[in-house]
Amino acid sequence: MNSSVKDRISSLRFGGSVWCNLDVALRNVDQVFSRAIQPLNLSVIEWYILRALFEQDGQHASELARSVGRAATSFTPNLDKLQKKDLIERQPDPSDRRAVRIHLTEKARECRSDIMEVADDLDEQISGLFSKEDYDKFQTVLATLQSINLD
């Protein structure tokens, strides 16, 4: 292990606490992403929601919340903001009157290339901080952490 890696590891807080250091890293990356998407007039969560809808338009609100890692119970204000920006519309689910599906508007579809360009640029910048091997390991760690259930 080279000295720069050792220096970075020794800078971890609270004796290397996974939760604390993931939280600090997330907040740092969140600030980087916030600055990058500021010209798009989107918050990070709004940006995630649109990206999820680009992958699969017409999701139920609860599915969409889950896909961006948010609780469905507190998700409505995020959708309200996107609707006020004319980027999504809510439509009743034809097979379940109680359910609502979230769809992209034409305005959102027109913004897709700008949104995805920022996403691609950020991913490229972040992956460029690591060797290919380390980045692949990092992706594996992320996937594992997203799927753990320690109950």
- pLDDT tens digits, one per residue of 97-123: 888 999 999 999 999 999 999 999 999
Single-letter amino acid, residue 32: V
Instruction: Decide: helix, strand or coil at residue 150.
Output: coil
CATH architecture for the domain at 18-147: Orthogonal Bundle (1.10)
Residue indicated by tokens 């920022």: 118
For the chain, which residues make up each domain, given as ranges?
18-147
Which region among 16-25, 39-48, 97-106 has the lowest average model confidence (pLDDT)?
16-25
Length of the chain: 151
pTM: 0.83
What contacts 26, CB < 8 A, 6 or more positions away?
none
pLDDT (0 to 100) of residue 88: 98
Q: Is-contact 88 82, C-beta < 8 A?
A: yes
